[in-house]
Structure 1
C-alpha cells in the first residue's frame, strides 16, 4: 500500500508538471544580439516579447493551421496526456487500501491499479513525444546551414526540460503502480481459495475430515 501510494504521488507530480508545461510559453527562446535587453519566447498557444523596461507582452496565435506541424501535434498530444493522466490518477486512487468495495477487494483493486498505471504510462508517452519533437525541430533549425549566421536562432526553453521531467515522473509512477499491483496480487491469498477452498475439500473428503 505504501509503495502504491508513492507511485500515485509521483504520477500526480508528473501530471501537474505536464499541465504547467502546456501552459508555459517558454518552449523556445530567442535572444537578439543587437538588443540584449529583449528576449523572444514561444509556446504552444502564444508568443511573447520580454523587455526589461516594458515588461512582457504576449500575443496568442491566431490560427491553428498556421502553426508548424510539431506545434500542432504537441497541442493535441499534451491535452490528451492530461486526460489520460487524470483518469489514471482517479482509477489508481480508487485502488488504494483506504477504499472499500462490496465485491472481493483484491481482484477489483488490482484491476483498477493495473489500468490506472497503464494510463499513466500512456500519459508519459504522449508527453515525451511532443516535447522531444519540438526539441528536435529546434535543434535542426539551429544547425541549419542554409540560414545565414547573422540570423538569430531559436533555442531550447525551460518548458521543454519541465516536460521531460513530467514524462519521467509519469512513467515511473505508472510503473510503480503496476508493479505494486502485480506483487500485491501474487502475495495475497486468492479470494476463490479463501472462500470456496474448505467447502470444496469437505465435498471430497466428507464432513468428518
Structure 2
C-alpha cells in the first residue's frame, strides 16, 4: 500500500508536532537559558534555567541549586515558567486531537478534530516563542545596559533559547500541516443522496492516510 499525497502531509505534520513537543520538554528542563563566563576564572561557567542555576567547573562536577522561591525570579522567568507549562498542555492536546483526526473516517468529525488540533498546536507554538523571545530580549537589554559597570560579567544566550525557537517553529509547522485545505466536507449528490455508502456517525479507527 502506498501513502497518498494528503496522507503524507498529515503524517509530516504529526511528526513535526511530535518533534516540537520533545524539543519543548528539553527546553523547559534544560538549565541553560542563560550562560555567564567569568573572565577572572575561565574554568568556571554559570548557567541559569527556569528551575535552577548551575555552576560548571572544568575537572569538577557540575553543581546545581534550585530557586528557593518563585517570586525571587526575574519577571521574564516567572512568566516563562507559566507559559512553558501551558505550552506543554496545549501541545500534547493538539498532538492527540490531530492524531485522532488523522485516523478518523467520518469526514466532518475528521475536519473538526484536525482543525482543533492544529489550532492548539499553533497556540503551543505561540506560548513557546513568546517566553523564549522575552528572555532573549531581557538578556540583550541587560547586556547593553550602560548603568552596569563594564567589570561586571554579563549574561548571554544559552543553548535552551535556540532549542526553544526551533521547538516553536516545529509546533507551528505541525499545526499548519495538521489541517490542510483538502479537508473539506464531501459534497452530496443533487438528489440529496450520497454517491457512496453513508459514513458512520462515529470516528472509526480506519486510517485514511493510506490510499
TM over 0.5, shorter chain: yes
Would you identify which runs of 4 or more consecutive aligned residues in structure 1 move more than 6 Å? none
Q: Deviations over 1:51-98 (max 9, x none)?
A: 01222000000000010100000000000000000000010000114x
Q: Which residue of 1 aligns with 2:166?
A: 165
1:2 to 3, 8, 12: 8
How many residues were matched structurally? 188
Q: Deviations over 1:152-180 (max 9, x none)?
A: 000000000000000000001101112x2
- For the pair 1:25 / 2:31, whether they are aligned, the reply is yes
- For the pair 1:197 / 2:192, whether they are aligned, the reply is yes
Classify 1:175/1:198 alpha carbon distance in 2 versus 1 (closer, same or farther; 3 Å).
closer
Q: Which residue of 2 aligns with 1:72?
A: 78
Q: Which residue of 1 aligns with 2:183?
A: 184
TM-superposed deviation, 1:195:
10
Q: Which residue of 2 aligns with 1:152?
A: 153
Classify 1:110/1:198 alpha carbon distance in 2 versus 1 (closer, same or farther; 3 Å).
closer
What TM-score does the superposition give when structure 1 sets the normalisation length? 0.86
Q: Which residue of 2 aligns with 1:207?
A: none
The aligned runs of 1:75-114 (5 Å cut-off) are 75-97=81-103, 99-100=104-105, 105-114=106-115
Please give the alpha-carbon distance, in whole angstroms, between the structure 1 residues aligned to 2:21 and 2:48.
Answer: 22
Please give the alpha-carbon distance, in whole angstroms, between the structure 2 residues aligned to 1:118 and 1:140.
Answer: 33
Q: Which residue of 1 aligns with 2:135?
A: 134
What TM-score does the superposition give when structure 2 sets the normalisation length? 0.86
Classify 1:196/1:46 alpha carbon distance in 2 versus 1 (closer, same or farther; 3 Å).
farther
List runs of 5+ in structure 2 lacking aligned partners: 1-6, 195-211
Classify 1:117/1:195 alpha carbon distance in 2 versus 1 (closer, same or farther; 3 Å).
farther
TM-superposed deviation, 1:198:
3.8
List runs of 5+ in structure 1 lacking aligned partners: 200-209
Please give the alpha-carbon distance, in whole angstroms, between the structure 2 residues aligned to 1:81 and 1:196.
Answer: 47
Of the structure 1 ranges 110-119 and 88-97, higher mean CA displacement relative to structure 2 is found in 88-97
Q: Larger radius of gyration, structure 1 or 2?
A: 1
TM-superposed deviation, 1:194:
5.2
Please give the alpha-carbon distance, in whole angstroms, between the structure 1 residues aligned to 2:160 and 2:92.
Answer: 20
